[in-house]
Structure formats: structure tokens, C-alpha cells
Structure 1
Amino acid sequence: MPLEFTAIDFETANSSSASACSVGLVKVRDGTVVDRAGWLIRPPYGHDAFLEWNTRIHGITADDCEDAPDWATQLPKLLAFADGDHLVAHNAGFDMGVIAATSTAVGVVVPDFRYVCSLQLARRTYHLDSYRLPVAAMAAGFEDFRHHDALADAEACAAIVIHAARRHEAGDLEQLAHITRVKVGAIGPVATAERASVHGPMAFG
């Protein structure tokens, strides 16, 4: 199978994982970027305070997001873009946590996604002093992007995975994860079902 996935990156208004304020998405087909999308998100009530620290990092303010659609409105758009792909993110636990927490905050079902962490792939592919996104992206030949712009970060993430797949001669994302011994994670009902099958129903009592 060809190398196909959707790279994703979120920025948040504050330290709450439920405070998504922007998202960037990059679609890869047969090892090539074929589509990009990004938009602002109005964080849910109770998670909508924009901290100075966060704004200093990504440049997004409360005024920028005041008229943006909320998460519940935009989640179908995100799902349509991903179209069943595995997701890839740098430090994927953060970005998957944003999907789960923001969905829970607005009362919608956490969507099913399988995902791979490009940070872990970079650790198994390059020998670097740091594996932060700009450094790992540079090792993949992707330089001079606007770090903490969600779309630019998603593009950098995609570049790392494409380059790592070539380095490891992996035909698809599952094979790349297998070769590098990086776990394919899951969120949503599929993840709950898989944990139950491993640990038994009492694990969730």
C-alpha cells in the first residue's frame, strides 16, 4: 500500500487540552502532499480564556476567534478532510488529547482515529541533539517554516514522516511504524473497545 495519512497540528488558547483555537491539516497520498487546510476555532465556554503565554507563542487572540465556528460545528469538516486516514502529529499525545478533550467539552462523541507520533519516528530515524519539530523537520529537509502556525507545523510533520519512510524504505505508514517500533495509537470508541478486549470489562468499572 502507498504512504497515505493526514498530518495534524493544533494550537490552544491556554493550558487546557479542550481549548483548541486553530488546526492545520495536510493530506498525503502516495508519499506526496496533495491537500492542505487550516482554520481558527472558537474554544468552548469554560476553556476560552486566551493566556498571554499562549498568544505570545502562536499569535492568536480571543478577537481572532470570536467569530470562528465552534468545535462541534467544525469537527465534521475535520473528519471529512481526514476521510478515515491515520493521523500523524509531532508529540501526538498532545494533539489527540485536544481532539478528545475538546469533543468531550462540547458534548460530542470522541471520534475514532488511529495515529502515529512523528516525534517518536524522528527519534528512531535521526541522531539529533533535539527532536523538537523545527530541528527534526530540518533533518528531513523542511526548513524556514513558521513554527506554531498550525498549518505550517502540520506540513513540517508530514515532511518528517515522508522522509522517514524513504530512509527506512517503508511502503506505508503501518510498515514504517513496524520498522521503527513506534506504536500505532487510537482514540475514540475503537480505543475503548481495544482496551476492553485486552484488560476485560472490569478495567472500566
Structure 2
Amino acid sequence: MPVDFTAIDFETANSSGASACSVGLVKVRDGRVVDRMHRYIRPPFPHDEFSEWNIRIHGITPEMVADAPGWDVHLPMLREFAGSDVLVAHNAGFDMGVIAKTTAAFGLDVPDFRSLCSLQVARRTYHLDSYRLPVAAMAAGFEGFSHHDALADAEACAAIIVHAAKRHEADDLERLAHVTRVQFGAIGPVATRDQRTAHGPMALQ
């Protein structure tokens, strides 16, 4: 199987994981970027207050998302864009948490996605003083991007995974995860199934 995945990055309005205000998506097929998407998101009440700290980080203001659709509109677009891809993100636990928490805030079913963390892959691939996205991306030959722009960050994340796969001579994400000893994450029904497999029926009683 080729190196296929969808890279994802969220920006949030505040410290709440349910306050997604921007998402960037990058589809990779056979190690090459073939599609990109960026959308602003109107965070759901009561997670819609924008903190000054977050605005300073990503530059997104309440006015910029005032007329944007909510996550109930964006979730089907995410499903269509990513399909059955593994979602790759830098600090994937955060971004997968945003999907799960924002989805729950809308009273919707959490989607079924597996994930791989480019931060953890970078730690097992490069020898760096820092593994922050700009530094790890530079090690992968991707630099000069606008950090905390969701689409640019997703592109940087994709570049890390593609470069790491080449460096480890891994021809798909399963092999890359195995070589780097990074476990896949999961949300939605697949996460429940994985927990049952890992812990057995007694652990759920």
C-alpha cells in the first residue's frame, strides 16, 4: 500500500476542545499532496467565546467566523474529504479531541477515525532540540510556512510524515508506525473496539 492519509489541523477559539474555529485538511496519495481544504467554523455555544490569547496565536476573530457554518455542516465535509483515511496531526490527541468534543457539543455521533501523531513520529525520526511543528517540519525540508494557520500546519504535518516514511523506507503508514513504534489512536466506535481488543471483556465489566 502507498503512503496515503489525510493530515488535519484545528485552531480553537479558547481552551475548550469543543471550540473549533478553523480546520485545515490535506489529502496525500502515494506520498504526494493531491487536495487541500480550509474552512472557518462557528464554535457552538457555550464554547464560542474567543480568548485574547488564542486570537494572538492564530489571528482569528469572532467577526471572521460570525457567518461561518457550524460543525454540523463541516463534519459531513470532513467525512467526505477524508473517507477511510488515517488522520495525521501534530499532537494528534489534541486534534482528535477537538473532533470528538465539538461533535459531542452538537449532539452528533462521534465519527470513526484512526489517527497517527506526527509529533511522535518526528521524535522517533529526527534528533532535534525541539519537536514543535515548525522545527520538525524544517527537518523534513518544509519551512517558511505560516504557523497556526490551519491549512499551512496541516501541510507541514503531511510533509513530516512523507519525509519520515522515506527516511524509514516505509511504504505505508502501518509500516511507518511499526518502525517508529508509534501507536495509532482512534475515536468513535473503532476506539471502543480497539479497547475491547486490548483489554478483553473483563476490563469493560
Same fold, TM-score > 0.5, yes or no: yes
Q: CA deviation at 1:73?
A: 1.2
The total of aligned residue pairs comes to 205
Find the counterpart in structure 2 of residue 6 from structure 1.
6
In the alignment, structure 2 segments of 5+ residues that lack a partner are none
> How much has 1:83 moved relative to structure 2?
1.2
Other-structure match for 2:119: 119
Distance 1:181 1:194 in 2: 17
What do residues 78-97 of structure 1 show as CA deviations (whole Å, max 9, x unaligned)?
Answer: 11000110010000000000
> Quick one: structure 1 residues 58 and 114, their matched pair in 2 at CA, closer, same or farther if it must change by over 3 Å?
same
Instruction: Report the Cα offset of residue 124 of structure 1.
Output: 0.5
- Equivalent in the alignment of 1:155: 155
CA shift, 1:203, in A, is 4.3
Per-residue displacement from partner, 1:17-46 (whole Å, max 9, x unpaired)?
000000000000001001100100000110
Tell me the distance in 1 between the aligned counterparts of 2:55 and 2:204. Answer: 38
Which position in structure 1 is the counterpart of 2:28?
28
Change (3 A) 1:179 1:107: same
What SS is found at the alignment partner of 1:136?
Answer: helix
Partner of residue 199, structure 1: 199
Aligned with 1:116: secondary structure? Answer: strand
C-alpha displacement at 1:52, in angstroms?
A: 0.4
Structure 1 residues 197, 169: closer, same or farther in 2, change over 3 A? closer
2:203, 2:74 → 1: CA distance? Answer: 33
The Cα shift of 1:163 comes to 0.3
Question: In the TM superposition, what are the counterparts of 1:25-174 in structure 2 within 5 Å?
Answer: 25-174=25-174
Aligned to 2:177: 177
Report deviation, 1:195: 1.0
SS at match of 1:38: strand
TM-score normalised by L of structure 1: 0.97
- The C-alpha deviation readout for 1:139-190, integer Å capped at 9, x for no partner, is 0000100000000000000000000000000000110000110101111011
Structure 1: runs of 5 or more not aligned: none
Inter-partner Cα distance in structure 1 for 2:82 and 2:163: 21
The 1:72/1:201 distance shift into structure 2, 3 A limit, reads: farther
Distance 1:60 1:203 in 2: 43
How far is 1:200 from its partner? Answer: 4.3
CA drift of 1:201 comes to 5.0
Listed one character per residue, the Cα deviations across residues 104-152 of structure 1 (whole Å, up to 9, x for unaligned) are 1110011010110000000000000000000000000001000000000
Structure 1 runs of 4+ aligned residues shifted over 4 Å read 200-205
Q: Return the offset for 1:199.
A: 2.9
- Where 2:93 maps in the other structure, the secondary structure is helix
Give the corresponding residue for 1:186. 186
In 2, Cα distance between equivalents of 1:124 and 1:4: 20
Shift in Å at residue 192 of structure 1? 1.1
Q: What is the CA distance between 1:74 and its match in structure 2?
A: 1.1
For the aligned residue pairs, the C-alpha RMSD in angstroms reads 1.0
Equivalents in 2 of 1:193, 1:158: separation in Å?
Answer: 27
CA–CA separation in structure 2 for the residues paired with 1:164 and 1:95? 20
